Amino acid sequence: MFTHFIALSKLSDREIAYHFSSDTTDEIISVRDKFMDRSVSISDAAYSIHALKTDSPSFESVKKMDPYFTDVKPFNSVDGFLDQVRELSQLNSIDVASYLIRHYEIRPFSLQKTLYYIYADQLVDGDKRLFISNFVAFDQGPVDQEVYRYNKHDHDSLLRQHELEKKLIISGKVDKIEAIIDSGVHKYNQYFDSLWGDPEDNPTHRQGSPWSIARDHGGQNAPILDKYILKAHHVEQI
């Protein structure tokens, strides 16, 4: 019989695991201890440890024995697994949009603008990206394409998702990040809700704004790069 040591992580709709198997107990213990040493910089809330036995060393035998692991992608490298966990633990625009939709009455137009301003304010004032995003210059202003797609075609998945809370527990910054997001909602949601259908008063459309720079460089739906925001966010501030 083979014992399988499995460190499982489920983040951002991905299921990954570090997997090692052996028919020697001492080897399993050694690998477990080494894994714990290497993963000390990552919160144990980011993964769970499992041990089980099958008659084969393969991860396929684990899947056959327990359907819980059916969709899991295995890694045989500790560093490869931990790098993926770090990457998947980063907040993204879907995480933040889901939080906004679940906690506030926020319409699609205001959702996109509030999301953008929270991102831009933190990039400029906090000197860092609060979350991974992909803002482009739609006719109505900055729009995150992933959030647009989910909100239009799979809105229910945004209501079910709770990745932001999970990732903030992992980061240990629950109160700090939620306070930044909540403050942004209180500042921008009602303001932009009142501007729907009135593009002339939309501050993101001001000449020299990041939105206008993006369109000058790449036309409609061009990416709004961080360097544009850092250079010109002051133009669109309210």
Band of residue 157 on the pLDDT scale cut at 50, 70, 90: confident
Tell me, yes or no, whether 43 and 63 share the same domain. yes
pLDDT of 59 strictly over 90: yes
Tell me, yes or no, whether 51 and 157 share the same domain. no
Two tokens, residue 17: 């695991």
Band of residue 143 on the pLDDT scale cut at 50, 70, 90: very high
| 165 Ramachandran zone, left/alpha/beta (phi>0; psi -120 to 50) | alpha
CA 147/CA 33 separation, integer angstroms: 41
For residue 11, give its domain range. Answer: 2-89
CA 210/CA 96 separation, integer angstroms: 21
223 and 134 in contact (C-beta within 8 Å)? yes
pTM of this prediction exceeds 0.85 = yes
Tell me, yes or no, whether 57 and 101 share the same domain. no
Q: What percent of the chain has pLDDT over 90?
A: 88
Band of residue 127 on the pLDDT scale cut at 50, 70, 90: confident
Two tokens, residue 210: 């990041």
Tell me, yes or no, whether 123 and 224 share the same domain. yes
Mean pLDDT value of segment 101-111: 94
Tell me, yes or no, whether 203 and 163 share the same domain. yes
Q: For residue range 168-193, list pLDDT tens digits in order.
A: 999 988 899 999 999 999 999 999 99
Tell me, yes or no, whether 103 and 219 share the same domain. yes
Mean pLDDT value of segment 159-169: 93
Tell me, yes or no, whether 30 and 69 share the same domain. yes
Mean pLDDT value of segment 101-129: 95
91 and 167 in contact (C-beta within 8 Å)? yes
Q: For residue range 10-42, list pLDDT tens digits in order.
A: 999 899 999 999 999 999 999 999 999 999 999
**145-to-3, 130, 161 alpha-carbon distances in Å:** 44, 17, 18
Band of residue 125 on the pLDDT scale cut at 50, 70, 90: very high
Of the candidates 46, 66, 89, which is a domain's last residue? 89
Give me the chain's average pLDDT, please.
95
Tell me, yes or no, whether 78 and 171 share the same domain. no
Of the candidates 65, 89, 113, which is a domain's last residue? 89
Block residue for tokens 């201890």: 33
The confidence score (pLDDT) of residue 126 equals 86
Instruction: Tell me how many domains the chain contains.
Output: 2
Residues 6+ apart with CB under 8 A from 200: none
